[in-house]
Structure 1
């Protein structure tokens, strides 16, 4: 009930916001503007070109600002809320208070430098909702947003924007809350620059106290400074060891790729002499959370430094006063594959404003900081950073004749550590064989290689199936709070981290063969888990830990032994032993399987980096559960396919009998309709033969060889009923053709069946050709767009990768969905009311064609990854298709129903030519 009420309130809020946004507020520029806004002064609008207005709208668009202050606590939940018992505390938690500004219209005015602007300001945050029940009072934190429709003026001279308006909101108790006389004050620099990069301001109203708003300027009107310079390249870091930025098809710099790689968390390591250069920087973490760039390679960014190592960056505020931050701009150097930036520290202004609660003043200073970021092309156990870099004192370097005076001791090094899901096919991995040998020593010392008992327990990873996904496993710590996962990076010589398509290819080419041939296989893992810190309470936050390990895996015993590196007590510790023993089973690991493992220190207990060992359990594999569910769904869908195709055969037989019992039906049946059905049945048979034998190996790579062989046989068996339906369709076509020839011999003129059929062809054939051409053009456009986005070609609806033939096969299914169209046109052209088509045939056929779309809608909700039934190779699927296709098919069936009772020309009654029945002649009943 709570969820239902919450959804109801959300719909109501959206309706109010829509009405408010769509209705111009006449009061916006009344006397309230002059009372709330001292400047800029209102001015009359004048004509603004469309292109100019579009550029101006983009310059005022804000998407990621934050707000804070006492006034915000009136609109949202307080910062701290205590239940009556005092035992529970609720804070804003992980819901960041943010705002966005969406401009609706902008125009220039008669006053130079003054713009008239209308926009919607949306505040997003959270609030506490109280539920009363028999068990007592409960509290739940929910996301919440409030929108204000505002109108006002902006002065480019003073960079001040002032807008007034009103807003509406639903209170927690469900009552309507109206906010009147609201004023927004923003300072928007134009252009923004490295020394003036922020938008700051306040929001105030008659019903709440003023509070501050701040964001990093997002508009395109940014004035980049002079090109920043990087440190001279060290001999140990040649340009060849760094990955470049893939360019767009037109050869330009790819801003999207840069943003994707840079905006992440970084671990910072400070050199011994850093304090002289950076007395205000000492935090162990840095997060680059905003990146903007131009096609020419100019880049600007905002980065936050933090002492919080919990790695919950996705929920953090980005403009908190206690955090150090920098703004930077520069350029991407394609020759050395480095991003060179000049940065400035950000701090609150020492000169407090008159009303501190209403505005956050940010000041940029100390702009002598150099930053350089790059993307390593070589990974090791110690460094698997997608992005890495250094920070140094650029003023010190520029003031010295010897640029090398900035030594390693004075640098801050940065390395990213969050999971990466992009394509890493161009990254080379180098094993640390010292760690491999040490892991092998501990493996042999444990006696796992001589355990014959374990070998008889059943199948393990790698000796029954060959998919890199199987090597991913979740872990849960024993006797303490904490859980995590282990993700394979390398299996043998195959890198399987990153993009799953590249991982599949690499695994099938290298790792699978090595698992079959080798007793011990070199492996590399990334482990990430959350643990409870000291003095942790149930309301506290867990700390995230990372281990990067290398070692050996024995697929015959299911034993994994690795030595790795992890951050501990503020230092990097590379003496961590990770051992896992997977459980075997007759059905393979994951059905009833699991395992046990341990993370322990190889150091003496007196060492400051020593830590007590942690035992963990490995649950059944996630991918195995998906496989089990997928196999069940494939079996179920296979049964549905057999039922639907069998019903098609039955309906065709009924139509054949109907045609034999009614001699007039054959002449009134559209040959085009029957030909469309025949072609619609044979096209998937022809095209999918390639997909069965070639693409299935890719689509179901996670199945064992025996399972894939059975799947191929099953696919062929599923096509047999379709082949039978095709043969029956040819028989029906032969009956209709024979009956047509007999009638044509006794009919002449425009009313003859042959003449009417020609009209049907002249109408339908161009439609089908145009549809096929549109399908081909859309396919080529999708391929081009996919290449630009570095993706594989996709169908019109979400589905697997496809070819042009595959899309044409889907189009054939779409034509088959409208198989009644030629018959409807035939009846309309002939005016016939002969019941040529059996109700079983057209009603049943329509239901069969609509059922896959209904199932696809269900599958989208229930997340069923299988496509045996309602396959995108047989038709177009998606939200729009699943609605339009059944409705269109049902409409054609209804029109045909009316035509066979009221006359085929009922829609063209003024041009009716009578009954339209054909003159029958003696014929042999075939």
Structure 2
């Protein structure tokens, strides 16, 4: 039987279908790097079915903590000298036919760093460099050997910052210990590519629950017993307290038992623990004692330790055995591959002090000693151990997880006596409502921020927060602090006028563009009836502690409404001027708001939103009434001033344009900062501008009707001549006002540049001109009054409806009246938020100017009423009208 005849069209269709697949396969083969050329080992093996539980366990093994990267490739990708971090996220993994090989078929490596770009400044400030965050991602596929602990993967990378840039033919080689241990705790390796990608070195602390603890438990020395706060073991709470930066105190004789660990600060940035109380951690030692927020990120320093141990439930301490870690080579060099674990004879202990004093307020304390004698059975501490205490302001950044309710504060009597003596010698205010004396007081009312006055070119500012009030601890967890205040401190302040109090004061200053920070721990007495605070404090210096610092503060009463907010104070030294620790006194100005004032401010902003919405809605109604008035009276369109309607339309358009600019500038964000508001408002605020948009459209319709009425009249030439005369009178006034606004704005900008930290923000020139446009809109009746004065027919025609000009005047005057009321009724803060009647919208920003504008707008409305009343035109002509 003969074969069926072939169908040439069918073969053609098959060829057209197969060719694209072959082409795509060849392109994919060219773009995917060859595994065998980059990863000779481990050898690939066929995948096997892997159940869900096994897959999850394998994925957990390859889930690393964010790590550190460096090398020449890092300097080419990101800004050199600024460290970044990387993350490694596995997506799919399976076992293979080779039991010693695991296939990690999909994973993402992401490098996070910073880049800089030049920007041209505005208002004559020149160009500046903007530093921003950027990430470069790599998609990888490879195999892991459980015998050699080598992970080798190949793939491609993508840089989406600016024009998309792709990196092909990349290989990642990592050593991932199967069971990390004290002497083998790191995941390290490098990422390398072709000619356009230089090597990037990676290292991180091994994550996951699979960890091999050493045999035997680490012990804490008996002679170093301390009083620790109550509470059992909690992995989450322990981790949140240990992750911090610690100030180290070495022996005064400089004969520390650990001479290699001589840095002043220790940062614990990796903590892992198990349910049975086992704990392991990684800590670095640094010469930088500034509390930069870096405690949750893996770092590489010259000296570091890895430690492991267990929580001792009896003594409520964490006992650890530690090993010193050093860089094999400087990790910024191209030869760096790993960190080396060397000396393992270091003992570490952490505990949580149950009693705080003015000198020691550590939520977490630690000690390091030479534990090499432990091998011979001696668990004692050698001479001159290193003690450590967590920076208190680092703890305050995690107050939601730091419960200090079981910590007691012990006041120092000599400090209280000195503070009381200076309190008795001070001139205090009369009785008023101060924090602690009124019903709705909160411990937050005792917090304040301040800036210092000095004659040097140094900018100084700070913040003060209460640690304890009476017997109540008000530091730490917010809920526990509020409960302790209302339960104990508030009752003690009602029973006694003079209450013991302790503070933590952070003092930040900038000299020659170099920021620095210091802390003062103080305690003293507080008068609930006069709001006077007198304290004696200690400040930490490089090699000593100065405990003769006097802090006196006079708080502002709740009834006062001054821009200073909380009041004024003074920080001075009680030492002789010849003493090396003496410093010049500083007057401080406090700013902030009390809790009742904050609630009142929120209520005020809600009220202002309602007023704004009501004003916009009423404006629409008044414009509609004027449109109906023009349609009913044909002569009204001819007698209405086009200049006045143009000014009103411009006054409606400018706020909408500013809001649109804000929206476009923040189109990738979920919030915008509206013009004139110091707070971040939701996009829903723009929806509230809908009535303003409707008013603008109606205003354009009114302008179109008036213009059409002019052109359809037989007397339009005469009316246009009158309108030109109105422009000749009004336009120079508007231009002079704009020039004056520019001069005032320039003067405010110069003043702000002299005091860039605390000077009032002058805003932009566009913002100043927008404020002036609002002022011109306040006097929107001026062109109509001028037109009526030069043309008697305009007044006789009653161009404007009383609803329009009286209602419009009321809408324009109400913000100024409200501004005067608000300035006297509400307490201003350092960063006030205004939704309605921003004081900066005034040309001079004063209450007197608000009164002047109100009187001027009212006078124009009264003058227009007099012009449009029957018989109000004293120059009645014979024509009787147009």
Match in the other structure for 2:214: 225
Match in the other structure for 2:437: 463
Q: Are residues 1:473 and 2:448 paired?
A: yes
SS of equivalent to 1:314: coil
Match in the other structure for 1:426: 406
Match in the other structure for 1:291: 271
Q: Are residues 1:262 and 2:264 paired?
A: no
- Structure 1 residues 481 and 305, CA gap change in structure 2 (3 angstroms): same
| Deviation of the 1:301 alpha carbon | 0.2
Match in the other structure for 1:103: 90
Listed one character per residue, the Cα deviations across residues 397-449 of structure 1 (whole Å, up to 9, x for unaligned) are 54475x54624x344344443233122211122211221111111222x333x
Q: Are residues 1:243 and 2:218 paired?
A: no
Listed one character per residue, the Cα deviations across residues 771-795 of structure 1 (whole Å, up to 9, x for unaligned) are xxxxxxxxxxxxxxxxxxxxxxxxx
SS of equivalent to 1:51: helix
Match in the other structure for 2:529: 556
Match in the other structure for 1:327: 306
- Structure 1 residues 439 and 202, CA gap change in structure 2 (3 angstroms): same
| Deviation of the 1:625 alpha carbon | 5.2
| Deviation of the 1:335 alpha carbon | 1.1
* Equivalent residue for 1:170, pick from 160, 185, 190: 160
What is the alpha-carbon distance in structure 2 between the residues aligned to residue 310 and residue 259 of structure 1?
21
- Structure 1 residues 119 and 625, CA gap change in structure 2 (3 angstroms): farther
Q: Are residues 1:123 and 2:111 paired?
A: yes
- Structure 1 residues 27 and 227, CA gap change in structure 2 (3 angstroms): farther
SS of equivalent to 2:521: strand
| Deviation of the 1:389 alpha carbon | 1.6
Runs of 4+ in 1 over 6 A off after TM superposition: 636-640
| Deviation of the 1:615 alpha carbon | 2.7
Match in the other structure for 2:816: none
- 8 A contact 2:31–2:168 mirrored in 1: no
What is the alpha-carbon distance in structure 1 between the residues aligned to residue 229 and residue 41 of structure 2?
51
- In the superposition, the TM-score normalised over structure 1's length comes to 0.59
- Structure 1 residues 406 and 398, CA gap change in structure 2 (3 angstroms): farther
What is the alpha-carbon distance in structure 2 between the residues aligned to residue 370 and residue 389 of structure 1?
10
| Deviation of the 1:569 alpha carbon | 2.9
Question: Bigger shift: 465-474 or 515-524?
Answer: 515-524
What is the alpha-carbon distance in structure 2 between the residues aligned to residue 98 and residue 26 of structure 1?
31
What is the alpha-carbon distance in structure 2 between the residues aligned to residue 397 and residue 280 of structure 1?
19
What is the alpha-carbon distance in structure 2 between the residues aligned to residue 372 and residue 291 of structure 1?
14
- 8 A contact 2:33–2:155 mirrored in 1: no
- 8 A contact 1:302–1:325 mirrored in 2: yes
Paired residue total: 580
What is the alpha-carbon distance in structure 2 between the residues aligned to residue 315 and residue 466 of structure 1?
35
Q: Which structure 1 segments of 5+ residues have no match?
A: 1-22, 80-91, 247-252, 643-862, 865-926
Listed one character per residue, the Cα deviations across residues 438-478 of structure 1 (whole Å, up to 9, x for unaligned) are 1111222x333xx4xx216x533333352111100001121
Match in the other structure for 2:64: 62
| Deviation of the 1:292 alpha carbon | 0.2
Equivalent residues in 2 for 1:139-538, closer than 5 Å: 139-171=129-161, 174-206=162-194, 207-234=196-223, 237=226, 241-246=227-232, 253-272=233-252, 275=255, 277-314=257-294, 318-321=298-301, 323-349=302-328, 357=334, 359-399=336-376, 403-404=379-380, 406-407=382-383, 409-417=384-392, 418-420=394-396, 421=399, 422-444=402-424, 446-448=425-427, 451=428, 454-455=429-430, 458-464=432-438, 465-479=440-454, 480-532=458-510, 536-538=511-513
Listed one character per residue, the Cα deviations across residues 493-550 of structure 1 (whole Å, up to 9, x for unaligned) are 2222122222222222222233334231111111112123xxx422x3x222111111
* Equivalent residue for 2:74, pick from 69, 72, 75: 72
What is the alpha-carbon distance in structure 1 between the residues aligned to residue 376 and residue 295 of structure 2?
40
SS of equivalent to 1:455: coil
What is the alpha-carbon distance in structure 2 between the residues aligned to residue 53 and residue 163 of structure 1?
18
| Deviation of the 1:621 alpha carbon | 2.4
Listed one character per residue, the Cα deviations across residues 618-668 of structure 1 (whole Å, up to 9, x for unaligned) are 11326455223222256579999x9xxxxxxxxxxxxxxxxxxxxxxxxxx
| Deviation of the 1:30 alpha carbon | 5.9
- Structure 1 residues 484 and 275, CA gap change in structure 2 (3 angstroms): same
* Equivalent residue for 1:602, pick from 566, 574, 577: 574
Pairwise CA RMSD: 3.2
- Structure 1 residues 317 and 28, CA gap change in structure 2 (3 angstroms): farther
What is the alpha-carbon distance in structure 2 between the residues aligned to residue 598 and residue 227 of structure 1?
56
What is the alpha-carbon distance in structure 2 between the residues aligned to residue 132 and residue 272 of structure 1?
53
- 8 A contact 2:65–2:205 mirrored in 1: no
What is the alpha-carbon distance in structure 2 between the residues aligned to residue 586 and residue 635 of structure 1?
21
- Structure 1 residues 327 and 48, CA gap change in structure 2 (3 angstroms): same
* Higher alpha-carbon Rg: 2
What is the alpha-carbon distance in structure 1 between the residues aligned to residue 281 and residue 486 of structure 2?
40
What is the alpha-carbon distance in structure 1 between the residues aligned to residue 39 and residue 311 of structure 2?
43
| Deviation of the 1:574 alpha carbon | 2.1
- Structure 1 residues 574 and 226, CA gap change in structure 2 (3 angstroms): farther
What is the alpha-carbon distance in structure 2 between the residues aligned to residue 46 and residue 273 of structure 1?
64
* Equivalent residue for 1:611, pick from 575, 580, 583: 583
- 8 A contact 2:63–2:208 mirrored in 1: yes
- 8 A contact 1:531–1:544 mirrored in 2: yes
- 8 A contact 2:243–2:296 mirrored in 1: no
- Structure 1 residues 556 and 475, CA gap change in structure 2 (3 angstroms): same
- 8 A contact 1:202–1:358 mirrored in 2: no
What is the alpha-carbon distance in structure 2 between the residues aligned to residue 326 and residue 236 of structure 1?
23
Q: Are residues 1:621 and 2:593 paired?
A: yes
- Structure 1 residues 591 and 634, CA gap change in structure 2 (3 angstroms): farther
What is the alpha-carbon distance in structure 2 between the residues aligned to residue 580 and residue 524 of structure 1?
13
- 8 A contact 1:211–1:358 mirrored in 2: no
What is the alpha-carbon distance in structure 1 between the residues aligned to residue 554 and residue 258 of structure 2?
47
- Structure 1 residues 227 and 261, CA gap change in structure 2 (3 angstroms): farther
Match in the other structure for 1:46: 48
What is the alpha-carbon distance in structure 1 between the residues aligned to residue 281 and residue 228 of structure 2?
21
- Structure 1 residues 123 and 326, CA gap change in structure 2 (3 angstroms): same
SS of equivalent to 1:209: coil
Equivalent residues in 2 for 1:733-882, closer than 5 Å: none
- 8 A contact 2:33–2:170 mirrored in 1: no
What is the alpha-carbon distance in structure 2 between the residues aligned to residue 131 and residue 46 of structure 1?
55
What is the alpha-carbon distance in structure 2 between the residues aligned to residue 517 and residue 149 of structure 1?
68
Listed one character per residue, the Cα deviations across residues 8-41 of structure 1 (whole Å, up to 9, x for unaligned) are xxxxxxxxxxxxxxx9x96599662122122111
- 8 A contact 1:601–1:611 mirrored in 2: yes
What is the alpha-carbon distance in structure 1 between the residues aligned to residue 291 and residue 103 of structure 2?
43
- Structure 1 residues 42 and 275, CA gap change in structure 2 (3 angstroms): farther
What is the alpha-carbon distance in structure 2 between the residues aligned to residue 30 and residue 144 of structure 1?
25
SS of equivalent to 2:603: helix
- Structure 1 residues 44 and 626, CA gap change in structure 2 (3 angstroms): same
- In the superposition, the TM-score normalised over structure 2's length comes to 0.61
| Deviation of the 1:273 alpha carbon | 5.8
SS of equivalent to 1:193: coil
Listed one character per residue, the Cα deviations across residues 478-498 of structure 1 (whole Å, up to 9, x for unaligned) are 133122211111112222212
SS of equivalent to 1:243: coil
- Structure 1 residues 329 and 491, CA gap change in structure 2 (3 angstroms): same
